Amino acid sequence: MTETLKTTSVVSCPDCGHSVVEAMPLDVCVRLYECKNCQQLITPESGDCCIYCSHGTILCPTSQMEKSSYTIVRQRRAGRACTIN
């Protein structure tokens, strides 16, 4: 069974707690994010690839694909690794 790739996540600032829904890019890992409330730069926690995996409600598309069966998306992305931004 192929699952639906989720492309939005609620990102929460670890400093002020502000939360906002963000669209996740399919082809890059977001490693820096500025909180829209306090302007603090948010970075991933140790061991996570991006801010969505550390501070979001949904894992980034790259991590979702690694954990589940996304056959259609995997075929299109074959040979393309996550680009660090």
pLDDT digits (tens, 9 = 90+) for 35-73: 999 999 999 999 999 999 999 999 999 998 887 655 444
For the chain, the domain total comes to 1
The sign of the CA dihedral 27, 83, 59, 74 is positive
**pTM for this entry:** 0.76
What one-letter code names the amino acid at 37?
Answer: N
Q: How many helices (H) and strands (E) does the chain have?
A: 3, 6
The token pair at 66 is: 């690694």
Residue 27 lies in a domain: yes
In a domain? residue 29: yes
Where do we find the tokens 């996550």?
A: 82
Residue (of 70, 77, 74, 79) closest to 3 by Cα position: 70
In a domain, residue 1? The reply is no
Domain assignment present for 12: yes
